Structure 1
């Protein structure tokens, strides 16, 4: 006879029930008394033993869990209270292994996980046996599984869905049960590997872990397997995944530094702009005009000028985030870069290409999460796993990619993103957490969505920091879009599904203060959408609507609304609206004011023989790792460098004063270790700044192109060099010998990678030209030796010639600063 297990108290709508049988353990879930999930098989294989066959129930314990958490970003910021009913079923297998099934129930779902509470030492988890069947007339919205979740999402009847691997979250409509079910996971960390769904030829769906076998210890051995259950509004608005995640390590900690908002991002519209300081300044200027909060600099940035753009942006209350590849932060030595970047005033990182669900990779995630929380850095994961509740445990996580987003217009031309793919996202991927799709790509090649559809993605899709794909000038060129993107709120206090389904349209409303922002996206032919507004509880209201124009493009108008909003959309179209109670001011956007920089005197100087320098400033200091500071009288600070700082290298000390929107205004001082007697490689020295036409100045290789490290071995007329600096025309390289160098030597010329070009190369000391020569491709390298005694600054320049306006790549090969005196200026 089956042994029926059920909680002592059932929640109002979702009722899980577990039965143990001789050959199986089965979960049944009812909603409002009606069976939604029937015959869900539960179990594990541990150490080669299938625990779901031959186990008996020892006891069941039921408890009610009431808790609260405060969301800094997401579909609903603020403090949320929730109640779950948890039943822990303790079982013993015939082999003697004791194990547990934990079942959580809330008003919008059920979750299951497995634990071995009495395991001694270590064991092996060989397989998760959780599996289920859906009714044959079910419809499924899924994506083919890959570990970075960037395949298209599609809808299909279950009978037509081929066997194979599918990624979470996976949405299923169950017509007979009158409900939807969304399958996913929650509460994952480095103890586990991630899972996906596998559908076999018989229609059975299984949870399959990424690792075939993982080492386990006492306690939970899987994340929560989550089944969100209800109508579409219940699923879209659910916070169950976050509720299942652990609380932050410091629940009472001050997290006001976690700042959701909107970001300008130049990479999508201009691959190489991440290496161009002037382009980043322009994006800051327009972001400030829109009132946005953030700037993301993608690949190409250089440590030489990042402090400068951080300071420039901070004067407008804009914070800077940097892109990085995950393996550049793998291991303690590389991880230390985070503290260095934070010391410059950087606010966050976009870390990319993890592309794994393995337990080892989740251990890496654990490390990144802990260190960014300690340092106060936002994190945006790209090439990543889906959200599984980290926004609660680690509130600094403000975005994940794990979606086929706008970058696919760039990388995979000919396969544009479809309206069908987009409309599915609010009902699937975006349910479980922040989704960095990078929306509003007006200039996308081959785009089949309307302008109204593109603009509506800014509301229909949620991310803690929304990074807009297009060039900021593309927004300025569309006044209605520019005005709306300036009005768009930085965060959401409430999210409501107003209308739609995954096959046709999605109309999402998100509230900030007393205004609602609506985003509607549709697939299929042009038509009229009638959107009920009763769930907004506004009564008579006013709406400003931006949507598809009759002849293409965008059109806007304002009109009163009551219980519904009627909008015409184009084919694959969409719209946005700002709605508020009648008489409420709808437009409130203001540009960000500019603040004065903190005083830093002097901004560049040499450290003394004791490794210290005195800095005059009225602000607070942020120091590089290993540096120390002592406050003296009259706004003076004594700054001391670590002994490991090499001659000719500098540390960047950041000065902060209060600024706009809680963001400090920063300025920087660069403190150089003086050159010691001998010869010093140019490429090993810290540059004060540089300007280069094509990407960064390259160390020990030719300029290459717009990307960092894309050069090759330097070569001038066939003569190759091991070290030096590669540049393009026009360029400036600013160095600070600080009066410590006697001579500058180099071998210079046009690199062989730009045949047929020419340039003028010159050297300036303290603003005075010491040397200049015209060089041409194919000419042998020129040897230069210049007397630079007493010079504080050295500028290496390369400019185009009137008869050769095209860029030339030039090499400052085998460059050396020579110091032959026994003392430095600081010792004299």
Structure 2
């Protein structure tokens, strides 16, 4: 039957339009194929290009026509095929991802996910297959590889990120415990070496934080390898060979991008991760914690009497948890785990019962080597649950290699079964883990309060790097460490808000809190779960002022590096009048100021060198004199 002319013309126009949208020649004589993906007019845009001459793939990111990431190599190599070159395009499949979920902790509890996804399928001449899956949201671009069964072990990725040579860069030297300090360079002048994949760059397209999501024992952790003099940062895996005996989907290579406020507020790495695997999360409760390690050391951990005194103080302050750190089960005069009756001989059940009667939950420290095998976990985890322990602080994993990631897979499932919250130390960084396993309340993976070499610049960089991707157990509040920390007392109070952690561990001694009643009273108010987060002012390495909301109240924290100043903070909390109660450094210690300001006004705070402040804001009404409860 003859096709009507009008129908044929319409079909031809549609096919030409589709070709224009998905294909763009790189040179007149070479017709490279290109595919574009974005979530909206003002959102970042990914462009994947297949070079017809070499069969290599690249990915570039822009925002409103400005460079975010320059064209960067994309590819993966297995023992059976090099899937980084000689590729030919097979087909494209697209969909929209829309999800709602509620977190137990983080920058905000209610999350709405809207992403566009495209899956581009490629093959080599020999028939080896790889799919490149790309997602785009309002605040990020991400991609991953999907390999069919029979692809064999992975030998590495050719994935890399090309940045303009002069792009400002904030990088942390890679360590297996992710505790490298952040320093500022340009993309090309950073020394040759390996860096954490939580790297922040500033280009004319805005700020971009590199990250990873949905990392499990099916793969290997990534770091960035860089050679000085270039703007290229290559993905290097922790393993030379990643074992795979079936279909494989790799972790997401994520780029959180936008202005600095967008990056800081982003939950993109959580949004990319699989949905929660905990059917009933009602037992998971974030909260503030009296941490006894910097307050009392191993000696306190070995003493039931000392721990009861800490519980008494937590109860007096209405802090919901007390954490017993190292020493409580290591060969003390009372008992040790080499004794076959160690569970019976432990004083921990007595402490848990004592704390429970006072409304305080107990969290206990355990070395990873004591949870390494299924048999050890079967000994420890049910026992802790039976005692009534609320959570475990597991330490010294110090690896992101595949075998250790498989251990994470096991411990996550088993702690959920035994209703134990987790604080990982000496660990990987979040990478979406808190969405999938919400009992993970926080992770270290940071040069935190224990370090004696931290700088004020490092402290003001963390809100824009490490803490963007998930809860961070920095352990603020160690007022007794005067001379061992680079900041002022008011800045130390502000860290309880600037740094988000589902278990916010206060590292001070009771005596140091009693000597600073304004800090103590503020800590009494601070929650560990937030309904909203906003960046009020910031520049990595110089200043960070964040506001976090709980109910109708906003908590503000500010930290600064450099000389004393009068800080000017835009009060972007909403319309109306606000009662502001601000804690700052005075000549003889902490002082508090009260004033009523309108939303949109500027809050002025006198800040000492390397100082900061904390504040509490609530809607003002006649007769209201304080936001404290």
Instruction: Confirm or deny: 8 A CA contact 1:145 1:196 kept in the other structure.
Output: yes
Question: 2 CA distance for matches of 1:289 and 1:419?
Answer: 32
User: Which of 354, 357, 380 pairs up with 1:315?
Assistant: 357
Question: 1 CA distance for matches of 2:246 and 2:119?
Answer: 15
User: Which of 587, 593, 596 pairs up with 1:557?
Assistant: 593
User: Which of 245, 248, 255 pairs up with 1:227?
Assistant: 255
After TM superposition, the structure 1 = structure 2 runs for residues 559-598 of structure 1, keeping only pairs within 5 Å, are: 559-562=595-598, 563-583=601-621, 586-589=626-629
Instruction: Confirm or deny: 8 A CA contact 1:11 1:107 kept in the other structure.
Output: no
Q: C-alpha offsets along residues 194-233 of structure 1, whole Å, 9 cap, x if unaligned?
A: 0000112341210111001111244344210000111110
Q: Could you tell me how far 1:552 is from its partner in structure 2?
A: 4.9
User: Which of 161, 165, 177 pairs up with 1:148?
Assistant: 177
Question: 1 CA distance for matches of 2:461 and 2:38?
Answer: 38
Query: More displaced, 7-16 or 342-351?
Result: 7-16
Structure 1 residue runs of 4 or more that deviate by more than 6 Å after TM superposition: none
- Answer 1 or 2: which has greater helix percent: 2
Tell me what 1:59 maps to: 91
Q: C-alpha offsets along residues 581-613 of structure 1, whole Å, 9 cap, x if unaligned?
A: 112674444xxxxxxxxxxxxxxxxxxxxxxxx
Tell me what 2:104 maps to: 72
In the alignment, structure 1 residue 391 sits paired with structure 2 residue 447: no
After TM superposition, the structure 1 = structure 2 runs for residues 477-488 of structure 1, keeping only pairs within 5 Å, are: 477-488=515-526
In the alignment, structure 1 residue 194 sits paired with structure 2 residue 224: no
Tell me what 1:467 maps to: 505
User: Which of 583, 604, 622 pairs up with 1:546?
Assistant: 583
Tell me what 2:311 maps to: 284
Question: 2 CA distance for matches of 1:298 and 1:473?
Answer: 19
Tell me what 1:425 maps to: 462
Q: Could you tell me how far 1:369 is from its partner in structure 2?
A: 0.2
Instruction: Confirm or deny: 8 A CA contact 1:125 1:221 kept in the other structure.
Output: no
Q: Could you tell me how far 1:33 is from its partner in structure 2?
A: 3.4
In the alignment, structure 1 residue 18 sits paired with structure 2 residue 24: no
In the alignment, structure 1 residue 41 sits paired with structure 2 residue 84: no
Instruction: Confirm or deny: 8 A CA contact 1:36 1:179 kept in the other structure.
Output: yes
Q: Could you tell me how far 1:34 is from its partner in structure 2?
A: 2.9
Distance 1:539 1:356, change over 3 A: same
Question: 1 CA distance for matches of 2:582 and 2:248?
Answer: 50
Number of matched pairs? 574
User: Which of 120, 139, 151 pairs up with 1:108?
Assistant: 139
Instruction: Confirm or deny: 8 A CA contact 1:499 1:508 kept in the other structure.
Output: yes
Question: 2 CA distance for matches of 1:227 and 1:472?
Answer: 42
After TM superposition, the structure 1 = structure 2 runs for residues 324-723 of structure 1, keeping only pairs within 5 Å, are: 324-336=366-378, 337-409=380-452, 415=453, 417-446=454-483, 447-534=485-572, 536-549=573-586, 551-562=587-598, 563-583=601-621, 586-589=626-629
Question: 2 CA distance for matches of 1:244 and 1:85?
Answer: 12
Question: 1 CA distance for matches of 2:527 and 2:226?
Answer: 41
Q: Once superposed, what is the RMSD of the aligned Cα atoms? A: 1.5
Question: 2 CA distance for matches of 1:11 and 1:219?
Answer: 35
In the alignment, structure 1 residue 97 sits paired with structure 2 residue 128: yes
Question: 2 CA distance for matches of 1:459 and 1:483?
Answer: 14
Tell me what 2:296 maps to: 270
Distance 1:540 1:143, change over 3 A: same
Distance 1:495 1:461, change over 3 A: same
Query: Secondary structure at 1:270's aligned position in 2?
Result: helix
Q: Could you tell me how far 1:266 is from its partner in structure 2?
A: 1.2
Question: 2 CA distance for matches of 1:311 and 1:170?
Answer: 45
Tell me what 1:826 maps to: none
- Answer 1 or 2: which has greater strand percent: 1
Instruction: Confirm or deny: 8 A CA contact 2:77 2:83 kept in the other structure.
Output: yes
Tell me what 1:127 maps to: 156
Question: 2 CA distance for matches of 1:67 and 1:11?
Answer: 21
Q: Could you tell me how far 1:81 is from its partner in structure 2?
A: 1.7
Tell me what 1:237 maps to: 265
Query: Secondary structure at 1:463's aligned position in 2?
Result: coil
Distance 1:400 1:340, change over 3 A: same
Instruction: Confirm or deny: 8 A CA contact 1:506 1:521 kept in the other structure.
Output: yes
Query: Secondary structure at 1:314's aligned position in 2?
Result: helix
Q: Could you tell me how far 1:432 is from its partner in structure 2?
A: 0.4
Larger Rg: 1
Instruction: Confirm or deny: 8 A CA contact 1:515 1:586 kept in the other structure.
Output: no
Contiguous gaps of at least 5 residues in structure 1: 410-414, 590-828
Contiguous gaps of at least 5 residues in structure 2: 1-30, 330-342
Q: C-alpha offsets along residues 230-288 of structure 1, whole Å, 9 cap, x if unaligned?
A: 111000000100011111235xx321211101000111122110111121112112112
Tell me what 1:609 maps to: none
Normalising by structure 2, we get a TM-score of 0.89
Query: Secondary structure at 2:295's aligned position in 1?
Result: coil
Q: C-alpha offsets along residues 294-341 of structure 1, whole Å, 9 cap, x if unaligned?
A: 111001224521111111111222110110010100112100111111
Instruction: Confirm or deny: 8 A CA contact 1:25 1:52 kept in the other structure.
Output: yes
Q: Could you tell me how far 1:80 is from its partner in structure 2?
A: 1.5
Normalising by structure 1, we get a TM-score of 0.68
Question: 1 CA distance for matches of 2:229 and 2:528?
Answer: 47
Question: 2 CA distance for matches of 1:161 and 1:202?
Answer: 8
Question: 1 CA distance for matches of 2:627 and 2:35?
Answer: 56
Question: 2 CA distance for matches of 1:315 and 1:506?
Answer: 40
After TM superposition, the structure 1 = structure 2 runs for residues 771-810 of structure 1, keeping only pairs within 5 Å, are: none
Query: Secondary structure at 1:395's aligned position in 2?
Result: coil
User: Which of 207, 232, 239 pairs up with 1:180?
Assistant: 207
Tell me what 1:88 maps to: 119
Question: 2 CA distance for matches of 1:264 and 1:588?
Answer: 20
Query: Secondary structure at 1:215's aligned position in 2?
Result: coil
Tell me what 1:804 maps to: none
